Structure formats: C-alpha cells, structure tokens
Structure 1
Amino acid sequence: MAGLTPDTPTPVALTVHARSRQLEVSFSDGASFRIPFELMRIYSPSAEVQGHGPGQEVLQTGKREVTIDSLEPVGNYAVKPVFSDGHDSGIFSWEYLYFLGASQQQLWADYEARLAQAGVSRDAPMPGPTGKSCAH
C-alpha cells in the first residue's frame, strides 16, 4: 500500500462491537476493517504510549480484555476513544485508523517481537507508576 495522503478515504460508518471488542470502520473507498480494541490501545497515538520521541515508546501489556467505554468525535478528522483502563488521551485520525486496519498483521507481528525482546507476556500487568511525569 502506498503512503497515506490527504486524499486518504474517510469513514462512512463506525461501529463499536462491545462483545467482540472490535471497532468496525467502513471507509469511503469501500475498505472495511475490524480493529481489535487491544490493537488500538497498544498502538494508541498518545504521548503516554508513544513517548516523546523515537525509542521512547512504552510497551503496553495486559490489554487483551480492554474495552471502549465511549468514542468521542474530534472535529471532522478523528475520534478519541475512552478505554476501560482509563486511557483517554489518544486521538485516532482517519488516516491512523486506516493504517491500523490495513496493517494489522504486521502490527501484531511487531508487537509480539517487542514483547519477546522485553521478555514479557502479552497479558502481564503494566508496571506501576515509575515517577516519570509527562506534561500534557
């Protein structure tokens, strides 16, 4: 798939499937994806997850059962999910949702590799606060 551009398709339907814990997104180009909440949570575009620069990403674990409590619109370009673990600072642009949907297989593989490298399980609880603060 070529790089995403300002011409990236926009969602024509967003459906939160609570039971299967997936966000179904149908785009104007006919593409439709079911993105697991867990994938959205571990790849949240927030500073809390991504860090403030390359190599500062925070490996997310214990998110298999996470759900989305609400999905708030952000202008006409994004949504902000409120996850059941309290995480609510990720703003998911239409481009980013398309990327997550289209790249799921590679993203899962990358996540599994990062877990293995860190020597932790996907279901390990997140470590407690480390005293690091993050100005928002």
Structure 2
Amino acid sequence: MAGLNKDTPTPQDITVHSASRVLEVAFSDGAHFRIPFELMRVYSPSAEVQGHGPGQETLQTGKRDVTLVALEPVGNYAVQPTFSDGHDSGIYAWDYLYFLGSQQEQLWNDYHQRLQAAGVDRDAPMPEKGGHACGSH
C-alpha cells in the first residue's frame, strides 16, 4: 500500500448516506465522489478480499444491500469501515478511496466481467469458508 505523499488529495468532507448506500467524499483537489458501499465492499483492500498476491482475490457476491454500520478514522491517512455483513478488516487510505471514486465505471465493469467469468450471480450468497474466521455472526 503506497503511503501518502504530498500530492495525495485529502478528504475535506466524508458523509455516510445510509439510505442511498453511498459514501460521499469531497477531496482537497476539488474532486467529489459518491462511492457505493457495494463497490467499497467488493473492492475492500483487506487480505480477506484481495488475497496475498495477484490471482488470490476472493470474488465477493451478495453485497448489493450491504450497509456501513461504522466508519472509524485510522490516523490521519485512512478510514476503516465496518460493513453490515461483519467485514471490518479493510483499511481505506485516502489514495485508495480516491481510486475507487475516480475509477468507479471501470471497477464496476471489471467486477461484472469477473462475475461472468466465474459464472456467479452478483446477488449470490457468499459460500461459507471453513476454518477461516472473519468476525463473529
């Protein structure tokens, strides 16, 4: 994960819109994004989602209705959301939030292509993983 450099825009304002399920972020460079919770969840930077190297990603499904139950600051460089499905291990640095916001269209396209390639529905429940605890339910 790249650290912050002086050129990384920083959020001036972050608003959680629970009803419309988007995170609204206004950045210091004037950019303004509405990032759907589903997109944030599907592209969580956590090892649980990203795996430990290329090709290790776990395709996330059934996240259309996921909501944010908490959003905690991490130092002055990131936020750590807790999602309604119990996922809370993703640390979203400012540059990653910016990436999600600015590349939304491409990320959605990639996600749909990955779903098609895997032959799974976007709304399919996630398979239960044995022996890999990730929060209590």
**Structure 1 counterpart of 2:8:** 8
What's the offset of the Cα at 1:130? 3.5
1:6-25 CA-partner distances (Å, limit 9, x unpaired): 41110000000000000000
Structure 2 distance, partners of 1:5, 1:58, is: 30
Structure 2 distance, partners of 1:46, 1:74, is: 14
Q: With structure 1 as the length reference, what TM-score do the two structures score?
A: 0.92
The Cα RMSD (Å) is 1.5
| Unpaired segments ≥5 residues, structure 1 | none
What's the offset of the Cα at 1:87? 0.2
Q: Secondary structure of 2:48's match? A: helix
**Structure 1 counterpart of 2:84:** 84
Structure 2 distance, partners of 1:130, 1:18, is: 31
Aligned length, in residue pairs = 131
What amino acid does structure 2 have at the position aligned with 1:63?
K
Q: Secondary structure of 1:69's match? A: strand
Structure 1 residues 81 and 113: alpha-carbon distance in aligned structure 2, compared to 1, 3 A threshold: same
Structure 1 distance, partners of 2:89, 2:68, is: 13
Percent identity for Structure 1 against Structure 2: 73
**Structure 1 counterpart of 2:17:** 17
1:15-74 CA-partner distances (Å, limit 9, x unpaired): 000000000000001000000000000000000000011100000000000000010000
* Alignment pair present for 1:36 and 2:30: no
Q: With structure 2 as the length reference, what TM-score do the two structures score?
A: 0.92
What amino acid does structure 1 have at the position aligned with 2:129?
P
Structure 1 residues 84 and 133: alpha-carbon distance in aligned structure 2, compared to 1, 3 A threshold: closer
What amino acid does structure 2 have at the position aligned with 1:122?
R
Runs (4+) off by over 4 Å: none
**Structure 1 counterpart of 2:96:** 96
**Structure 1 counterpart of 2:74:** 74
**Structure 2 counterpart of 1:114:** 114
